[in-house]
Amino acid sequence: MRYSKKQLILALALPFQVLFVQYLSQKPQWIEHYYSNGIYPFISRFFRFIFGWLPFSFGDILGFVLLFLFIKAIYRLFKTRFKNSIPQLLKFTSILSVIYFCFYAFWALNYFREPLAKNLNLQQSSYTTDELVLTTKKIVNKLNMIHLQITKNDSVLIEVPYSQKEIYNLAPKGYQNLSKIYPQLIYKTPSIKNSLVSLFQSYNGTSGYINPITGEAQLNDMIPKTGYASTTCHEMAHQIGWAAENDANFVGFLASIANDDLYFKYSGYRMAYNYCISQIYKRDKKIALEIRKTVNKGIYKDYKNSYLHWKKFDNPIEPYFKKGYNSYLKANNQTKGIKSYSYVVDLLIAYFKQIN
């Protein structure tokens, strides 16, 4: 039985790649200096330049092709009653080896970089309930003020007037403003797309993702518009090298509120309040209810609309998708899995301490 020498070499390389990535995961300073602030900015700019001009998601098309080839290979295995199973397994492993290499080399080594708090010189630490409540109240004041600037009435629901494309065009302006304070968060060469699998994302409960192979930011174009701006900024944060979800959440927040546009500011503070009030509910429900009463009624109408939107996509399979994603995050230096998203609260508290 003949085997392709190239496929055999690639397949044998896979376990060595896994071991090398495990080794690099223990070297955050090396990753920070040589990868995240070394070659990665050139890699990411290159792929955004190559694919950014396309009006559709090349990464999603590539995913469809790979899925089709995988299904086709499985079908052939069954059709031939597994007669060529070893060559097919070798071929599959060699392809997996290439994908694994591209995944980490093109983006995912950023999972092992130094924390964002250190990069931005924020004093991140365990916080008390009092510190959490104080930060949340500051966010509520900003959120209410911006809501009133837009609506002129605290009970009116905000309606975002922009198309998705207009939001994509406006988003980089927030990063331009932000880079004047934090030069390391500069963003150039946009590559932001509507996902071709938005319906699938809705059913698995996700708002967006970065394609690590093509560097495209993919947005679920079905999500409510009031959260669209901060979600866009979140995915852009992934593009500039912040792989951890709490870090991307915080950079997305900063870029949203740094934008001159009020709808972006609203989206950023809306996201921040949501995370903070959730943590207060876990610690002291009475205090959480008291704070909630101080939030403009129109804002909670917005939250209710978002809740009803996601409720439409409830399904029995979603928890299994989340378990899979949870395992993926844990395998990539986020020990708390999906809960890592809420760790943005630590950064928000440190940030509001720093600016006051």
Strands 217-219 and 208-210: antiparallel
**Residue 209, phi then psi, degrees to nearest 5:** -165, 160
Does residue 253 contact residue 348 with C-beta atoms inside 8 Å? yes
Integer CA distances (angstroms), 15 to 87, 92, 97, in order: 18, 14, 9
Task: Compute how many other C-beta atoms are within 10 angstroms of the C-beta atom of residue 100.
Answer: 17
Q: What is the pTM of this model?
A: 0.93
Instruction: Tell me what pLDDT residue 1 has.
Output: 47
Regions in the chain scoring below 70 on pLDDT: 1-3, 82, 333, 335-342
Tokens of 28: 């955050």
pLDDT at residue 326, rounded to an integer: 75
Ranges of each domain in the chain: 5-112, 116-355
Q: Alpha-carbon distance 200 to 318, whole Å?
A: 10
The token pair at 26 is: 């223990």
Q: Are 186 and 44 in contact (CB under 8 A)?
A: no
Rounded distance between C-alpha atoms, residue 354 and residue 356, angstroms: 6
Amino acid at 47: F
Cα gap 336→221, rounded to integer Å: 28
Torsion of CA 304, 307, 309, 310, to 10 degrees: 180
Q: Determine the pLDDT at residue 335.
A: 66
